[in-house]
Structure 1
């Protein structure tokens, strides 16, 4: 495909890309190895070896037609966001793209450490320490700050979509699965019901405009889960979950945060704020005392700079995508391409609910837009 300037659809999806989409056989250049890394309704991820170099990658096979509709543009949107973020070390790298009559194949760097969810629910000896969470949170925020400076929102930040370059020793993070991501501008409002219910912001449920603040709410939930192993808003059913989110019912009790610093709790409180305008931004979070105990002399830290982190980053860079392309049947999606069934659960549970119906039936103005 020839290079062209990016163009945006009315829903915030980038419709033109720079990457050349290859039509020659994928199998001529790559050999699939091992078992599937993950499978969803419209996508499957497999480990592969590039024949010319012997390097390991992850191949994400995505169907172009879903539920009878042509969803090629959804995949191009994901490619466009990966292109935009290629300069950031904390976003999964896109290597190549292939297309067949029925699929588009994204070849991405491959993660060795799996998803951070595994350690969120691990036993005490293997679970993250607060120091671990501080380090990983800085990296997540650095990646998200880069996206936000480029007017991109991820819209599905959760432990299953944050992968590690290595688990032992603890490596660096890679943000994956940009199937729901959108490009924002100062003119067009984007309103969609997207995401994983436990992590979505109140404005999603209320069908209000999406912004970079929408991601920041999810980071607040993500940090809560990483520190406590509990899902702050998950209820016995989806209506309770949505009510908890709408009312910002969060347990900050000492029992829940036993052994966790008050600064960490303050950090989460700065994000789990119902009014999006009052939530901390990614840049502000990077300057929060919890993550920045020795403030930099300059008020704004450069999110891409490794020197902005307290610890040196490892050189290994292995990561890959995760759940399949967006669908309103969220509970049918793979949380991450490295999810292992029966591996553990958050104390309040981990299953995503479906947005198959509006979250608050009493509010008829909430109209679900079907996402391919």
Structure 2
């Protein structure tokens, strides 16, 4: 995509005053800023353009382009302005005063099921919008979900599109990226990324919201990856007591090793857990046995020892052990609406 009207502006953000440092990472920092004239508060994300001696401007512009594409999406954080100097870029975004969803999960050790359903509705609204434009977020987690006001009377905004990718038919995107607890099996085995990669993260998110714990967390990152590859999933009574069978089934329907067999965003929104329907319309799931991590093919592909598909467990039956595997007007807007022009093989929009 081409960003027209893009220009360099002094990074002092002269019309704004700095207030609070929200967060800082290796390559970016987010600050709360206030417009000196209007008094309106915003979030400014400052991103270094060089990382590990490599120019990352293209990746940053990709994030800008995705935000421009999603300017009409109510569940995605709104981009207002972009500033650039030779060393940094600053993205001025709407302020989500309620902070990260992760903070609420940590404080409450999980959410009430009715609240989890409401949050999942909003998350899936955002994902559905992205997927309708063939954009995979690839880093869905509570840290990248912002609350507009204090919980629970709040709405959710999805943010951080730095590693999102454009998925095109006939062009495979293979990259190792994402957050360990939320990463899908196909990423670990270096198989092609798809929109369904996000749906695995949706299942992990639902589990985390309901229990306060990650379903695959191990003592080490390597153990976590092994748990994901084997799809070792349990629903301990102490964490899921009182949780509805529909919620368990929802998680099982997204944590499926074969990306082709996961529910998509629209199907998730129509799942009985989110609609409140009493009966489940059966949807076939593709199954095969758990894979020994030592036997995983180096460049993707199915195990030679896979068995024929077997039927999924009845709806309402909690499953222990392996999951179901393979199958407004602003005074100076300087970023214009993007126009599709050139798209690179890595799924980076520029």
Deviations 1:114-162 (A, max 9, x none): 11111212246xx521111100100000110010010000000011111
- Out of 34, 57, 75, the residue aligned to residue 90 of structure 1 is 75
**TM-aligned CA distance change 1:187 to 1:123, over 3 Å:** closer
Displacement of 1:22: 3.6
Q: Which of 216, 222, 226 is equivalent to 1:233? A: 216
The Cα of 1:50 is off from its aligned counterpart by: 2.0
Which among 35, 41, 58 is matched to residue 43 of structure 2?
Answer: 58
Gaps of 5+ in 2: 279-292, 301-345
Contact 1:199 1:217 in 2 (8 A): yes
Structure 1's unaligned 5+ residue stretches are 1-5, 7-15, 296-358
Q: 1:202 aligned to 185, 204, 209, which one?
A: 185
Distance 1:361 1:166, change over 3 A: farther
Residue of structure 2 equivalent to 1:68: 53
Counterpart position of 1:248: 231
Classify 1:149/1:360 alpha carbon distance in 2 versus 1 (closer, same or farther; 3 Å). Answer: farther
Residue of 63, 66, 72 corresponding to 1:78: 63
Aligned to 1:17: 3
| Distance across 2 between alignment mates of 1:361 and 1:275 | 16
| 4+ residue segments displaced more than 4 Å | 359-366
Give the structure-1-normalised TM-score: 0.73
Q: Determine whether 1:116 maps to 2:98.
A: no
Call closer, same or farther: CA 1:134–1:29 in 2, change over 3 Å: same
Q: Displacement of 1:57 after TM fit?
A: 0.6
Cα offset, 1:170, TM superposition: 2.7
Task: Give me the whole-angstrom Cα distance separating, in 2, the residues matched to 1:263 and 1:363.
Answer: 34
Q: CA RMSD in A?
A: 2.2
- Structure 1 counterpart of 2:135: 152
* Distance (Å, rounded) in 2 between the aligned partners of 1:238 and 1:68: 26
- The answer on whether the counterparts of 1:29 and 1:52 sit within 8 Å (CA) in structure 2 is no
Secondary structure of residue in 1 paired with 2:268: helix
Give the structure 1 partner of residue 281 of structure 2.
Answer: none
Alpha-carbon shift at residue 362 of structure 1 (Å) = 8.4
Pick from 284, 289, 294 the counterpart of residue 267 of structure 2. 284
